[in-house]
Amino acid sequence: MTATTTRHCRLCQWSCWGLLLQVLLATSSVEAQNRIIDICTVKGQERNMLRGIGVVVGLQGSGDQNPSTTGAALAEMLSRTGWEVPRDASGLPLTEVFKNDKNATLVVVTAEVPPAGARQGTLLRCEVHAWNGTTSLAGGTLIEAAMTGGPSLNVQSQNGLNRAASLPVLAIAAGPIRMEGTQTTSGIIDQGCQLTVDFRNQFFEEIEELVRNEDPFGGQPGTRRAVRFLNLVVNRPHAGFSAADRIAQQVNDELVRQTLGGVGADQIVLATALDSVNIRIRFPDAYFDDPVGFVRYVLEDIPVVLNTKHTKIVMNRRTGVITVGEDVYFSPVAITSGEFKVDIAPFRELSLDDNQGLGPVMKLKRLTQALNDLQAPATTIIDIIKHLEVGGHLYGEVIEQ
């Protein structure tokens, strides 16, 4: 590689022995033992996002610069407190009294219920975001925002017109806004959102099944019994048919060994991979009345060994730090960034993973090392990697910090 006026980085074809060495290095992997809790999540234990619209008052003239909409919302809120709001012949509130008031504004309020759920009355932190030309929420107080679980759905009424279906109110948000950093149109209300319902995230399902003539679980043929199931979701970095199947097989073997002494292991199936991300696990009878104990046992006590490849690129544009995994590849491409021209020629078609067939590829680590040798700025290297990702030439997961 030589540096010219336009610095040119070309990775050319290798000799046969050099190519063989590269193939051996490219296809090497490590056997990593994991806890299931580190690579899977339990279906039903997802976070819940709450959203609502509210009115903030007490601003110093930095509120809605065209306050007619805000005035209407404020009038409705005041009417619910018992205040007599003047209305027109159609019953709509008269908002002239608010027309010059720039000390209030409409806001979007969001809050997150943790994956474990929460009980009615629990106080959560919420975020407040302004629009309508509002320049600052500093010093403001949220009067009230009714929080729901998502957008309204249009339904057809009796007269054939579409109307917004009302959603149940799941929480109420209110309180003084605290500003964070230099952002002026968004703020925080600590413990400003109070749940009005219980959030019980069910993490297992129960069904009734008919016991068949040949039943490995010892049930009486022809009778019905309750069966409980746990559903695991393989996290994105590990997702894949081979990974899901391997996790299910190892969980199944361990459950049969621990709860049934290994008896009938060839015919008993407690864990099944449904697809590349979902794994269904049947509760052994010993854990039927202890779902929490079973989840803890499966997630924390059963080890799983996966064939893990290092396929991540972690980049921080502010610090200039770039970390490239050993198993990140890219396909032939030509990219120009500033005074650097990167021209990667294909050297041979390789099959780097089971039936993956990536075609002609090169290790990203070689490219970054070559660019470093040419003293390319970190921002240039990051831009090149981003172009590889956007263009679909990169085989790896990019994480920007």
* Of 73-87, 115-129, 187-201, the least confident: 73-87
Instruction: Reply yes or no on whether the pLDDT at 143 is more than 80.
Output: yes
- Give the per-residue pLDDT at 109: 96
Query: Average pLDDT in the 225-232 region?
Result: 90
Instruction: Reply yes or no on whether the pLDDT at 170 is more than 70.
Output: yes
Instruction: Reply yes or no on whether the pLDDT at 72 is more than 50.
Output: yes
Query: Average pLDDT in the 9-31 region?
Result: 38
Most confident of 25-34, 159-168, 230-239: 230-239
Contacts 24+ apart (CB under 8 A), 239-243: 239/276, 239/277, 240/276, 241/273, 241/275, 241/276, 242/307, 242/354, 243/276, 243/306, 243/307
Instruction: Reply yes or no on whether the pLDDT at 8 is more than 60.
Output: no
Residues 274 and 210 in one domain: yes
Confidence of residue 281 (pLDDT cuts 50, 70, 90): very high
Residues 213 and 298 in one domain: yes
Residues 254 and 135 in one domain: no
Confidence of residue 193 (pLDDT cuts 50, 70, 90): very high
Confidence of residue 113 (pLDDT cuts 50, 70, 90): very high
Confidence of residue 300 (pLDDT cuts 50, 70, 90): confident
Residues 52 and 177 in one domain: yes
Confidence of residue 10 (pLDDT cuts 50, 70, 90): very low
- Beta-strand pair 397-400/312-316: parallel
Instruction: Reply yes or no on whether the pLDDT at 132 is more than 50.
Output: yes
Q: Is residue 358 part of a domain?
A: yes
Residues 293 and 260 in one domain: yes
Q: Is residue 296 part of a domain?
A: yes
Across all residues in the chain, what is the average pLDDT?
Answer: 76
- Give the per-residue pLDDT at 6: 47
Q: Is residue 1 part of a domain?
A: no
Query: Average pLDDT in the 172-182 region?
Result: 93
- Beta-strand pair 7-11/340-344: parallel
Q: Is residue 244 part of a domain?
A: yes
* Of 162-171, 340-349, 372-381, the least confident: 340-349
Q: Which among 306, 329, 358 is the end of a domain?
A: 306
Q: Is residue 57 part of a domain?
A: yes
User: How is residue 260 written in tokens?
Assistant: 């049934």
Residues 269 and 367 in one domain: no
Query: Average pLDDT in the 233-260 region?
Result: 83
Query: Average pLDDT in the 383-389 region?
Result: 86
Confidence of residue 98 (pLDDT cuts 50, 70, 90): low
Helix axes 364-373, 378-390, angle to 10 degrees: 150
Q: Is residue 246 part of a domain?
A: yes
* Of 50-64, 79-93, 125-139, 259-273, the least confident: 79-93
Q: Which among 155, 174, 195 is the end of a domain?
A: 195
Helix, strand, coil share of the chain (percent; to 5)? 25, 35, 40
Residues 378 and 301 in one domain: no
Query: Average pLDDT in the 52-77 region?
Result: 79
Domain that holds residue 227: 34-44+202-306
Q: How many domains does the chain have?
A: 3
**CA atoms within 13 A of residue 361's CA, in its CB half-sphere:** 25
Q: Could you tell me what percent of the chain has a pLDDT over 70?
A: 70
User: How is residue 225 written in tokens?
Assistant: 């019994």
Residues 69 and 190 in one domain: yes
Residues 74 and 152 in one domain: yes
Q: Is residue 2 part of a domain?
A: no
Q: Which among 162, 195, 228 is the end of a domain?
A: 195
- Give the per-residue pLDDT at 22: 39
Q: How far is CA 49 from CA 143, 149, 153, 310, in A?
A: 21, 6, 17, 32
Residues 229 and 339 in one domain: no
- Give the per-residue pLDDT at 211: 80
Confidence of residue 360 (pLDDT cuts 50, 70, 90): low
Instruction: Reply yes or no on whether the pLDDT at 177 is more than 90.
Output: yes
User: For residue 194, what is the enclosing H or E element?
Assistant: strand 186-195
Residues 297 and 361 in one domain: no
Distance in angstroms between the alpha carbons of the first and the last residue of the chain: 31
Query: Average pLDDT in the 192-216 region?
Result: 84
- Give the per-residue pLDDT at 392: 75
- Give the per-residue pLDDT at 124: 96
Residues 189 and 206 in one domain: no
Confidence of residue 46 (pLDDT cuts 50, 70, 90): confident
Q: Is residue 113 part of a domain?
A: yes
